[in-house]
A and B are shown apart, each in its own frame.
Chain A
């Protein structure tokens, strides 16, 4: 399976290298044929269903093992919700729902959600790339039962979000929208945990790109007669980015290896905290060393830093997970810290 995954990673890199450029990122609409071509090629290679069970036509590679793929997709700044689709399809498949073809996006949050007669009403919030697809996954708890809800035709009042983010996001208000399928979710599937892991892997892929952009820019840009990279003040700032990034990657490799279980759900918290802090520092430093050019729309840095800004807030920010982690330990009254850590 490792070999299989490596081939997939390599193929994916090639596809993305061929199709993704900064122009594409600036025109993310369903009529854009370049966007459609890219998606078709992604789908042809089976990437959306990589973690889906074989009986539903997937590769059945465990979600945690494909995190390196999520990293690559976001390292290329792919302006399509492939990461979201992979996670949505995984959750659907684990809930014994056959994932549809095409893009499946998800609701990051919801408000006042109700189900009646196989129809759903309420507010569905912060949905990435909503206008590219008709398929939407909502995970919600009704009467203490967590459910996966698949919608395959979205009608409702769409509220265009302000363009704070690089990826398009929308809120929708729906009333009596038909549900395609709804099933209870298995206990071991926690949408908030999986979402936090997904966003962290995306952030790490994007941060690798941001550090590379910064290194390259500073090695070319000359001021005071030498390249920026020759200034110690700049070298130290870039080193700091590298340190932050390597700590986040170390936290990610724990999840990739161990997966997610009751025993190591702390590792999810640690990953999201670590990646969130790293993103904060890396956003600030990369813009600082890039100067004004990094603050323009035409240069690609901001595509990545805008996404980092949104992902660090999704599925719990640093404070949320710090609370979680701290409370979990402190409430186990009988253990001292070192015993707990080891």
Chain B
């Protein structure tokens, strides 16, 4: 079992300088009260004006080609920027999906019009995306989607429902996975296609679904016979499965899989440093060792993406390990409350902790469940 390697990638001086630059920018924003660091910010904390600011700094669509307004920088540079944003709890939710996966998906499969009309706006931090994969009856079993696109004289007619779409209420577009022809008996993965859907079109209805924390980020989107133009098809008709699998690789390997609650850990350590020196060196060491390992692995996947490889399985490793780490972290902090009882923690820290505790079950669901990750790995090991 040595086929899944994560080669060591060094952070060059150039990358470290970029890191410094981003960090200074963020510190300034915090000092000017432009945002308050918050947990799980890439899902919950959307601020379009902050996204626009990042766009003007050149930190969105970093690896996109210059001809579409991108910056032609490397996936490693993008990795550094996202790490800094995540670790500081910056409000990145508005543009997160567009910058992480939708933009790359359009660049890879889109036609000229799609690329030239959308990519420059993503890069400017002015165009946001939502994910159109899950449906009320299709969760982990993504190939069973029932949303249907039928050919019409002028294009396509889209009919169906998508659910759990984070930020759809703020997004301009959704990449929708739909059936364009019935599944063949042998292969359910055939007959699926991806569509680039403008969410402002008539007959698109977006309804919020409060999650268990009471906040809204989830949405259900109804496509009630939405008329799509001919060039709404993204990529090739019938090749939607292959495309969506590639999109998921972009979704799963990033540092948001282990840095979602870093602000909590950071505040925790700053607050309790003195007690930790006496009775918590071991737990701090355990957390450090796990974060550093994950950072190395995730950075290594970024370099695979940069080299044009297809690290679907490696992404599953990072996600699985990252999800586990976040759960372990919450439990570890909880254990510490026998040294300083929870009710004696400062209010803000208590809130962060409770927030994280509430939100943590979602981390091993979004982007593919633990069971799906293990299934992907098992297939690669030749067990399925």
* A322 at the B interface (CB under 8 A): yes
Are B289 and A235 in touch, CB under 8 angstroms? no
- Count contacts between A and B, CB distance < 8 Å: 157
Whether A236 contacts B378 by the Cβ 8 Å rule is yes
Query: A326 to B10, alpha carbons, bound, how many Å?
Result: 23
Instruction: Give Cα distance in the complex from A193 to B7, angstroms.
Output: 22
Q: Which residues in A have their C-beta under 8 angstroms from that of B291? A: 341
- Docked Cα-Cα span, A88 to B290, in Å, equals 30
Which residues, 325 to 357 on B, are CB-close (under 8 Å) to A? Answer: none
Closest to B276 in A: A330
On chain B, the number of residues with a Cβ less than 8 Å from chain A's Cβ atoms is: 53
A236-271 interface code vs B (CB 8 A; 1 in, 0 out): 101110110111011101101110000000110110
Return chain A residues, CB-CB under 8 Å to B283.
322, 326
Cβ contact within 8 Å between B292 and A341: yes
Residues of B within 8 Å of A326, CB to CB, are 276, 280-286, 288
Residue B288 contacts which of A219, A232, A325, A342 (CB distance < 8 angstroms)?
A325
A269 / chain B contacts, CB cutoff of 8 Å: 285, 289
Partner among B5, B87, B277 whose Cβ is within 8 Å of the Cβ of A249: B5
Q: Beta-carbon contacts of A207-229 to B below 8 Å, as 1s and 0s?
A: 01001100100110000000001
Report the nearest B residue to A209, measured CB to CB: B1
A257 x B10 contact (CB < 8 A): yes
Q: Which of B269, B270, B314, B371 has the most CB of A within 10 A?
A: B269
Do the beta carbons of A251 and B296 come within 8 Å of each other? yes
Measured in the bound complex, the distance between the Cα atoms of B292 and A274 in whole Å is 10
Q: Is the CB of A322 within 8 A of B286?
A: yes
Q: Closest CB of chain B to A239's CB: distance in Å?
A: 4
**Per-position binary interface string of chain B over residues 287-304, scored 1 when its CB falls under 8 Å from any chain A CB and 0 otherwise:** 011111111110010000
28 contacts between A and B (CB under 8 A): A208-B2, A230-B384, A236-B378, A238-B378, A239-B374, A239-B377, A247-B317, A249-B6, A250-B8, A250-B296, A250-B300, A253-B296, A257-B8, A269-B285, A270-B292, A273-B286, A319-B282, A322-B281, A322-B284, A324-B285, A325-B289, A326-B288, A327-B285, A330-B273, A330-B281, A336-B269, A337-B288, A341-B288
Bound-complex Cα distance A60 to B160 (A): 67
Tell me if A212 and B321 are in contact (CB < 8 A).
no
A329 within 8 A of B: yes
Known: A246-B317, A270-B292. A331 touches B277 (CB 8 A): yes
CB neighbours of B374 from chain A (8 A)? 235-236, 239-240
A323 at the interface (CB under 8 A from B): yes
Q: Measured between C-beta atoms, what is the minimum distance from A320 to chain B in Å?
A: 9
- Which B residue sits closest to A68, measured CB to CB? B2
Number of interface residues of A (CB under 8 A): 52
Give complex CA distance A242, B384 in Å: 15
Residue from B266, B273, B377 within 8 A of A242 (CB atoms): B377
Give B74-113 as 1s and 0s: 1 = Cβ < 8 Å from A's Cβ atoms: 0000000001000110000000000000000000000000
Chain B's nearest CB lies how many Å from the CB of A199?
Answer: 16
B317 touches A243 (CB 8 A): yes
Q: Which residues of A contact B (CB under 8 A)?
A: 208, 211-212, 215, 218-219, 229-230, 232, 234-236, 238-240, 242-243, 245-247, 249-251, 253-254, 256-258, 266-267, 269-270, 273-274, 318-319, 321-327, 329-331, 333, 336-338, 341-342
B1 in contact with A208 (CB, 8 Å)? yes
Alpha-carbon gap, A251 to B321, bound state (A): 14
* A270 contacts B293, C-beta separation under 8 Å: yes
List chain B positions with a Cβ less than 8 A from chain A. 1-2, 4-8, 10-11, 19, 83, 87-88, 262, 265-266, 269-270, 273, 276-277, 280-286, 288-297, 300, 314, 317, 320-321, 371, 373-375, 377-378, 381-384
A211-B1, A243-B377 known; A218 and B383 CB under 8 Å?
yes
A270 vs B265: C-alpha distance when bound (angstroms): 19
Q: Could you say which residues of chain B place their CB within 8 Å of the CB of A336?
A: 266, 269-270
Which residues on the B side are within 8 Å of A229 (C-beta)?
A: 383-384
Considering the complex, give the chain A residue whose CB is closest to the CB of B284: A326
- Nearest B residue to A272 via CB reads B289
Chain B: CB-nearest residue to A339: B23
What 7 pairs between A and B have smallest CB-CB spacing? A322-B285, A326-B285, A326-B281, A325-B285, A326-B284, A235-B378, A239-B374
Residue of B2, B19, B269, B321 near A247 (CB, 8 A) is B321
* Contact flag A236-B289 (CB < 8 Å), given A242-B377, A243-B377, A250-B300: no
Structural contact, B2 and A249, CB atoms closer than 8 A: yes
Complex alpha-carbon distance, A141 and B236, angstroms: 69
Contact A254 B276 (CB under 8 A): no
Query: Which residue in B4, B285, B290, B383 is a CB contact (below 8 Å) of A238?
Result: B383
| A330–B266 touching, CB < 8 Å | no
Q: How far is the CA of A213 from the CA of B383 in the complex (A)?
A: 13
Instruction: Flag if A256 contacts B8 (CB, 8 Å).
Output: yes
Shortest C-beta distance, A217 to chain B (Å), equals 12
Contact between A242 and B277 (Cβ–Cβ < 8 Å)? Answer: no
- Would you call B281 and A258 a contact (CB within 8 A)? no
Assess the B384–A235 pair: CB atoms within 8 A.
yes
| Contact present for A238 and B7 (CB under 8 Å) | no
Q: Find chain B residues with CB under 8 A from A235 CB.
A: 374-375, 378, 383-384
Residues of A within 8 A of B4 (CB): 242, 246
Say which residue of A253, A321, A333 sits within 8 Å of B6 (CB atoms).
A253
Q: A208 — which chain B residues lie within 8 A by C-beta?
A: 1-2
Within the complex, which residue of B1, B10, B296 is in contact with A215, where a contact is CB–CB below 8 Å?
A: B1
Shortest Cβ gap from B11 to chain A (Å):
8
Give the Cβ gap from A163 to chain B, nearest Cβ, in Å. Answer: 28
